Structure 1
Amino acid sequence: MMRTLVFGDIHGGLKALIQLLDRVEIDENDRLIFLGDYVDGWSESRQVIDFLMELSQKKECVFIRGNHDVWCHEWLKNNDINDIWFLHGGKSTIESYHNIDSFEKEKHLHFFENMQDYFVDEDNNLFIHAGFSSMHGPEKEHYTTNFSWDRTLWEMALTMDKRIQKDSLSYPKRLLLYNEIYIGHTPTLHYNIEVPMQGCNVWNIDTGAGFYGKLTCIDVESKEFWQSDVVQNFYPNEKGRNK
């Protein structure tokens, strides 16, 4: 039986990703969906991309584009260093790419260019890095930057009155478009929670791997989840995205 396994934001933590994959015990039938932000934080951003490219040759993988991936892609393509990006993990990513040759750089550019803004599976589950604002779904989104930046979807789902039923006229139309929605982008650590969070039919899988949290994977059907050790433990002499 195929499992659909969803992974939260990695932020350069390759060692945590390897440990997590070992704990999940993936097999040949599993589909792996990564919610974006592969880079920026710990010191192995380039190595994470190398690992994921190799993994995709062996397993069915879906790679969603995160806001940090957009920044990194722009730098790789145009050598354009966004000042905000540099201060929020970009510096460690640039250092990880030191001495990359032109052939490897082209492979990485191809990988970034082929990431998806969002993915909808056969059960009408949506996988997206951050969210969307259109009442008609992401395919009708006017501002595509919302895919990797928007937090209003999550904030709405998290704070909605649980007494409001799906058949109510007050139920948010965005949430009715999909069976379930899986996101990253907003660390659950912001709410002092270290495990995946649910608001209505929205699941947040970003458990703060880029900061002092863990990297998480969840099984869409069973809701069983696995976590790495605290990612900072793998990089004791680094700060990641912590200030």
Structure 2
Amino acid sequence: MRTFAIGDIHGGLKALTQVLNKLEVKDDDTIIFMGDYVDGWSESAQVIDLLMELSQNINCVFIRGNHDVWCEEWLRSKEVNPTWYIHGGKETMDSYEGYSALIKRRHLDFFENMRMYYIDKQNRLFLHAGFTSMHGVEKETVKETLYYDRTLWEMVLSLDKNIETNNLLYPKRLRHYNEIYIGHTPTTNFNVDVPMNAANVWNIDTGAAFKGKVTGMNIETKAFVQSDNLPGLYPDEKGRNK
């Protein structure tokens, strides 16, 4: 029994397929998807198709990302958020061309059932972005923070690497969990194209929305596999590199 975490996908079906093939997932494995399944490359609706199919055979946990919230709102109301439209929403809308109202309804159900966060039996926290409450995610008063926050990652990057967890200066919000897994902030922003670790936080968004890759990590061993760079898989597209 293995547990994998897969970072932001952003409509890159070809990249997701590469990662799943490299992981050689078995029926008794668990896959935790870190959010942002849509927006960017041209196959967002098809990514959701694959995830729904995969969940019929494999234990999957789907975390909600900010781009998923935008897509969910569009599927529900048919109203186009202007911010979403220019940040990959247009490509997502195009990917749904030809989809029936029934299938869109099923996709909406899928989005509505995504989790804001997940804590496993080993007290490992999985969420899309971050949290600010010193009392942990359960006490976060602004739920949007869970899929928008970048301060958690900024904080751990700036921590003294020699600080001990029992030090009074060690951030209280980190003490609640053995490990924390996030996406949302691409590691490529820091000129790194592989997962990054700071304190007890692992960031596995390796820039698939832009020029990077989709990453799948075994959370016990920390071994990981990656897709090809997304622009190479979609040479006729720009993704979010506009």
**How many angstroms apart in 2 are the aligned matches of 1:146 and 1:160?**
21
SS at match of 1:29: coil
Q: CA deviation at 1:18?
A: 0.5
**How many angstroms apart in 2 are the aligned matches of 1:20 and 1:50?**
16
Counterpart in 1 of 2:71? 72
Consecutive unaligned residues of structure 2, counting only runs of 5 or more, are none
One-letter amino acid of the counterpart of residue 65, structure 2 = G
Counterpart in 2 of 1:61? 60
**Cα RMSD (Å):** 0.6
**How many angstroms apart in 2 are the aligned matches of 1:68 and 1:43?**
14
**How many angstroms apart in 1 are the aligned matches of 2:41 and 2:75?**
18
**How many angstroms apart in 2 are the aligned matches of 1:232 and 1:47?**
18
SS at match of 2:228: strand
**How many angstroms apart in 1 are the aligned matches of 2:198 and 2:152?**
10
One-letter amino acid of the counterpart of residue 82, structure 2 = D
Q: Equivalent residues in 2 for 1:3-152 (5 A)? A: 3-152=2-151
Counterpart in 2 of 1:226? 225
Q: CA deviation at 1:79?
A: 1.1
Counterpart in 2 of 1:162? 161
Q: CA deviation at 1:94?
A: 0.5
Q: CA deviation at 1:99?
A: 2.4
**How many angstroms apart in 2 are the aligned matches of 1:119 and 1:75?**
25
SS at match of 1:106: helix
SS at match of 1:6: strand
Deviations 1:140-169 (A, max 9, x none): 111000010001111101110112110000
More deviation, 19-28/30-39: 19-28
Matched, 1:215 2:200: no
SS at match of 1:203: strand
One-letter amino acid of the counterpart of residue 231, structure 2 = Q
The percent of aligned pairs where both chains have the same amino acid is 60
Q: CA deviation at 1:127?
A: 0.2
Q: CA deviation at 1:53?
A: 0.2
SS at match of 2:11: coil
Q: CA deviation at 1:80?
A: 1.7
**How many angstroms apart in 1 are the aligned matches of 2:103 and 2:220?**
37
**How many angstroms apart in 2 are the aligned matches of 1:133 and 1:61?**
26
Matched, 1:242 2:238: no
Q: CA deviation at 1:105?
A: 1.0
TM-score in terms of structure 2 length: 0.99
**How many angstroms apart in 2 are the aligned matches of 1:45 and 1:16?**
12
**How many angstroms apart in 2 are the aligned matches of 1:232 and 1:122?**
37
**How many angstroms apart in 1 are the aligned matches of 2:13 and 2:158?**
33
**How many angstroms apart in 2 are the aligned matches of 1:133 and 1:81?**
29
Deviations 1:130-189 (A, max 9, x none): 011111111111100001000111110111011211000000001101000000000000
Deviations 1:204-230 (A, max 9, x none): 000001111011011111000100111
**How many angstroms apart in 2 are the aligned matches of 1:34 and 1:24?**
14
One-letter amino acid of the counterpart of residue 134, structure 1 = S
Number of equivalences: 242
SS at match of 1:214: coil
**How many angstroms apart in 1 are the aligned matches of 2:195 and 2:181?**
10
**How many angstroms apart in 1 are the aligned matches of 2:45 and 2:232?**
20
Task: List 4+ stretches of structure 1 deviating above 6 A.
Answer: none
One-letter amino acid of the counterpart of residue 212, structure 1 = K
